[in-house]
């Protein structure tokens, strides 16, 4: 029997990391066994349906490299792959169940069901459909349906005994049938519920392994019952652990508590291979203990048996750390350059006109200092602008180093061998001659070149910027010193006034006075 796996997301919102997670495992398992991986769209909830969601899910899978072998927009022999286009199929199957007496038409209104549940709660019983529609005679059901009365089709479930199934990772799971209600199969709008649709589609699409999130464990017995009713054989079930929020309880991952949108990680500069690698370490591990591995490496050795069942917390720090490792160790500078380029252009910075060699040099010194493409783009932008904007702190540092900058401007202009060694030699000799600590000279120069105090080594900076750019930047820095002395900096004056006002207000309130303006940790 050939392996067929699938993911069945609902097009209801942002592409979810949970979808990516389950897709990864389904994809890896299918590839490992030379099988097929299907994308099926569960768009049977027309309330929550979003038309752009389908394209975004597909884009997410493509971005991650988890492209389905069959699916909407992809094609395949078992289509269509949108459930909304398979309504006839579900109706036919519901009719078959009706004919076999495994299901029945139920005519309770929403109000009636609400009342029933309220009544149950009043008597301290668990709320849930009590099977009251089962007693309505077949011919009456059909007559009322034929007359156009709105109704649903429900599964007739056993009242006693147990229903069990084997979960590949957990062993046998047994659930008392008293826990299983007469579930709705076909809604009054003619759309199937998840339970009918998933069973029919998995069967028709010959899905061999159902790898889905753990939240489905308790509804699997319904699917077992449905398979029985159709006299179909069961696929293999394996329920993956649920990704968790980083809160105290580790509840199921949710967008209320954290960012679950793959698109937003993508926009935040997370690399697809890093996200994939990260998700691959959630509940799964390499047999040899490697922490950094490619999708292909995962496929090569993938075994469901290596899945651990404790719910893994989606830890952003680990994701970012992994991303940083890809940025500086796994990808070539050229590859990183290719990926930041579009972002640089978006920021109103340089675009195709950016010199490739310079870009690569900049990335080379910057990438040990960033975790995401977005950070890289942000830090890199200053290396391409004509004129840097210096903040108050920078101005101060420039001002204190003014004479050094003037000296160095002359020295660099006269430097013949403008390479790493020449620059290094020049700087060291200068510092020695002046008999001042390195930092006294280096820091103003660093600020002149980059506008910030946390930046790569000055020798590297000067070398990659080259003579012309270096001199230009020192020149600009000197200009800015003379134009706006720190004492006149309007921004600083504004902040000071603000801080004073705040302090006065606090003092007036009788609170203890604390410096609030420029606390630095």
Partner RNA sequence: GGCCCCUUCGACUAGCGGUUAGGUCACUACCCUUUCAAGGUAGCGGCACGAGUUCGAAUCUCGUAGGGGUCACCA
x-or-dash string of contact with RNA, 275-294, rule CB under 7 A: ------xxxxx-x-x-x---
**368 touching RNA, by CB under 7 A:** yes
Interaction between residue 521 and RNA (CB under 7 A): no
d(CA 230, CA 219) in angstroms, rounded, equals: 17
131 binding RNA? (CB under 7 A): no
The closest alpha carbon to 234, from 150, 168, 151, belongs to 168
Return the number of the residue (292 or 484) whose C-beta is nearest RNA: 292
Angstrom distance (rounded) from CA 259 to CA 265:
8
Q: Which is nearer to RNA, 35 or 283 (CB)?
A: 283
The CA distance from 183 to 189, in Å, is 16
The reply on whether position 194 binds RNA by CB under 7 A is: yes
Q: Does 317 participate in binding RNA (rule CB under 7 A)?
A: yes
140 binds RNA (CB under 7 A): no
- Is residue 72 a contact point for RNA (CB under 7 A)? no
170 forms part of the interface with RNA (CB under 7 A): yes
**Minimum CB distance to RNA smaller for 244 or for 339:** 244
Piece in contact with RNA (CB under 7 A), picked from 225-233, 453-461, 469-477, 505-513? 453-461
Q: Which is nearer to RNA, 68 or 353 (CB)?
A: 68
Rank residues 15 and 192 by Cβ distance to RNA and give the closer one.
Answer: 192
- Give the residue carrying structure tokens 């009706």: 98
Sign (positive/negative) of CA torsion 204, 206, 212, 215?
A: positive
Identify which of residues 217 and 345 has a Cβ nearer to RNA in the complex. 217
Specify whether 255 is catalytic: yes
Total of chain residues touching RNA, rule CB under 7 A: 88
Is residue 188 close enough to count as binding RNA by CB under 7 A? Answer: yes
Rule CB under 7 A: say whether 312 interacts with RNA: yes
Phi, psi of 155 (to 5 degrees): -80, 135
Query: Which residues ranging from 221 to 260 are in contact with RNA (CB under 7 A)?
Result: 241-242, 244, 246, 249-252
Q: How far apart are CA 41 and CA 201, in angstroms?
A: 11
Phi-psi region at 183: left, alpha or beta (left = phi > 0; alpha = psi -120 to 50): beta
Question: Could you tell me which stretch among 84-92, 94-102, 208-216, 386-394 binds RNA (CB under 7 A)?
Answer: 208-216
3-class secondary-structure state, position 165 = strand
Q: What SS3 class is residue 422?
A: helix
How far from 424 is each of 60, 72, 124, 456, CA to CA, in Å? 47, 60, 82, 14
Q: How far is the CB of 410 from RNA (least distance, A)?
A: 20
Instruction: Report in angstroms how near the CB of residue 181 gets to RNA at its nearest.
Output: 6
Residue 426 CA to residue 412 CA, distance in Å, equals 8
Binding piece for RNA, criterion CB under 7 A, among 57-65, 85-93, 338-346, 458-466: 458-466
Q: Give the Å distances, CA to CA, from 267 to 262, 270, 339, 428.
A: 9, 7, 12, 42
Distance CA 210, CA 167 (A): 10
Given the residues 187, 255, 257, 467, select the one marked as catalytic: 255
**Distances from the Cα of 434 to the Cαs of 195, 428, 431, 471, in angstroms?**
80, 10, 5, 21
Among 82, 187, 467, 469, binds RNA (CB under 7 A): 187
Q: What is the DSSP letter of 38?
A: E
CB of 435: closest distance to RNA in angstroms? 15
- Using the rule CB under 7 A, is 372 a contact of RNA? no
Q: Which is nearer to RNA, 47 or 353 (CB)?
A: 47
From candidates 262, 327, 443, 463, binder to RNA by CB under 7 A: 443
What is the number of other CB atoms lying within 10 angstroms of the CB of residue 359?
22
- Beta strands 152-155 and 209-213, pairing class: unpaired
Stretch that binds RNA, among 96-104, 262-270, 346-354, 454-462 (CB under 7 A): 454-462
- Which positions are catalytic? 255
């Amino acid at each position: 029997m050939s392996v067929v796996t699938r993911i069945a997301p609902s097009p209801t919102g942002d592409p979810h990391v949970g979808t990516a997670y389950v897709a990864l495992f389904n994809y890896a398992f299918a590839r490992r066994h030379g099988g097929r991986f299907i994308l099926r769209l569960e768009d049977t909830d027309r309330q929550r349906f979003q038309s752009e969601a389908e394209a975004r899910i597909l884009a997410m899978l493509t971005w991650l490299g988890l492209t389905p072998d069959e699916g909407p927009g992809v094609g395949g022999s078992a289509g269509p792959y949108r459930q909304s286009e398979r309504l006839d199929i579900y109706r036919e199957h519901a009719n078959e169940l009706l004919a076999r007496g495994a299901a029945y038409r139920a005519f309770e209104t929403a109000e009636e069901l609400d009342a029933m549940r309220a009544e149950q709660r009043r008597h301290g019983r668990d709320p849930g459909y009590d099977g009251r529609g089962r007693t309505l005679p077949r011919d009456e059901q059909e007559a009322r349906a034929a007359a156009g009365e709105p109704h649903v089709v429900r599964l007739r479930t056993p009242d006693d005994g147990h229903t069990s199934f084997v979960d590949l990772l957990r062993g046998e799971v047994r659930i008392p049938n008293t826990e299983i209600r007469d579930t709705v199969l076909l809604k009054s709008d003619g759309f199937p519920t998840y339970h009918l649709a998933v069973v029919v589609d998995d069967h028709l699409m010959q899905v061999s392994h159902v790898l889905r999130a753990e939240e489905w464990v308790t509804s699997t017995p319904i699917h077992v019952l449905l398979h029985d009713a159709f006299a179909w054989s069961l696929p293999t079930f394996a329920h993956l652990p649920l990704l968790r929020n980083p809160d105290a309880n580790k509840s199921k991952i949710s967008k209320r508590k954290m960012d679950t949108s793959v698109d937003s990680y993508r926009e935040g500069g997370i690399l697809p291979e890093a996200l994939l690698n990260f998700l691959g370490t959630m509940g799964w591990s390499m047999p040899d203990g490697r922490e950094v591995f490619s999708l292909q490496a995962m496929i090569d050795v993938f075994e469901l048996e290596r899945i651990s069942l404790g719910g893994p917390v989606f830890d952003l720090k680990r994701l970012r750390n992994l991303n940083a490792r890809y940025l500086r160790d796994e990808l070539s500078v050229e590859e990183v350059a290719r990926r930041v380029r579009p972002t640089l252009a978006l920021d109103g910075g340089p675009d195709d006109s950016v010199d490739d060699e310079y870009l690569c040099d900049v990335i080379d010194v910057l990438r040990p200092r960033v975790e995401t493409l977005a950070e890289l783009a942000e830090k890199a932008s200053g290396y391409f602008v004509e004129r840097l904007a210096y903040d108050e702190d920078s101005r101060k540092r420039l001002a204190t180093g003014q004479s050094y900058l003037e000296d160095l401007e002359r020295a660099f202009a006269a430097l013949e061998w403008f390479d790493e060694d020449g620059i290094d030699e020049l700087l060291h000799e200068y510092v020695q001659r002046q008999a001042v600590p390195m930092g006294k000279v280096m820091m103003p120069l660093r600020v002149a070149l980059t506008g910030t105090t946390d930046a790569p080594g000055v020798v590297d900076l000067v070398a990659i910027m080259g003579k012309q750019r270096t001199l230009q930047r020192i020149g600009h820095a000197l200009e800015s010193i003379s134009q706006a002395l720190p004492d006149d900096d309007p921004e600083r004056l504004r902040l000071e006034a603000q801080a004073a006002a705040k302090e006065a207000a606090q003092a007036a309130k009788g609170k203890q006075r604390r410096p609030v303006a420029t606390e630095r940790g």
